[in-house]
Amino acid sequence: MLFTVALAVIIERLYFFHRVLSQGAAMEHDLKLVAYRAVDELRRVVTKFPGALQTGLVTMALSSQAESAEAAERHIDETILEVVPVMDRNLWVLDTAVTLGPLLGLLGTIFGMIKTFDVLGAQGMGAGAGAVTGGIGEALVATGVGLFIAIVGLIFLNHFNKRVRLGVQQMELIKITVVNRLHGGGTA
């Protein structure tokens, strides 16, 4: 059950980050082609990426009508802080699986060993090898499954934490690009 829930989160987050980071990279590229103070071009970029998380940053910059670059940055930072929990969503499930998997495996190990000692206690030292190894086998399987859940969960948790950091970096770059296009000077 724990592995199934963790696997569902892994699949959903893989799709989510692929989509979000791909859209962000394409938006970064398009924003760099926008001329300085070309508000209509920025609006076209927004319409090209409907539903992208990063679109909210550009929309906020356009709608804030900030008089200074610093004010525009604050408005965009507010949007970034609203988006970060969306990127971080459900990663606590993987964190819990990483912690809980080995503990459940240990619990299964304890039950398997108790079963083994019950057999030894009831039948004495003359207990059949099959009766004794059954409990030990259950204990080892429980330990192995718990460790497997933790290992898989940890690999993907680290992967997704890296994706969150990349997403935030991407949004920071988009913020800087948009603020420069709205309040900067020079040529694109």
* Domain total in the chain: 2
Residue 188: pLDDT band with limits 50, 70, 90: very low
Residues 60, 106 within the same domain: no
Residues 84, 95 within the same domain: no
**Domain encompassing residue 69:** 2-90+167-183
* Secondary structure class of 53 (helix, strand, coil): coil
* Secondary structure class of 145 (helix, strand, coil): helix
Please report whether residue 127 resides in a domain: yes
Residue type for position 161 = N
pLDDT tens-digit readout, 114-161: 888 887 777 766 666 676 677 788 888 989 999 999 999 999 999 999
The DSSP code sequence of 57-76 is HHHHHHHH--SSHHHHHHHH
Residues 143, 178 within the same domain: no
Q: How far apart are CA 103 and CA 153, in angstroms?
A: 14
Please report whether residue 6 resides in a domain: yes
Residues 10, 66 within the same domain: yes
Q: 8-17: string of b/e by CB count within 10 Å (b at 16+)? A: ebbeebeebb
Please state, rounded to an integer, the average pLDDT across all residues of the chain: 90
Residues 143, 116 within the same domain: yes
* Secondary structure class of 133 (helix, strand, coil): helix
Residues 96, 149 within the same domain: yes
Please report whether residue 188 resides in a domain: no
Residues 83, 68 within the same domain: yes
Tokens of 96: 């819990």
Residue 22: pLDDT band with limits 50, 70, 90: very high
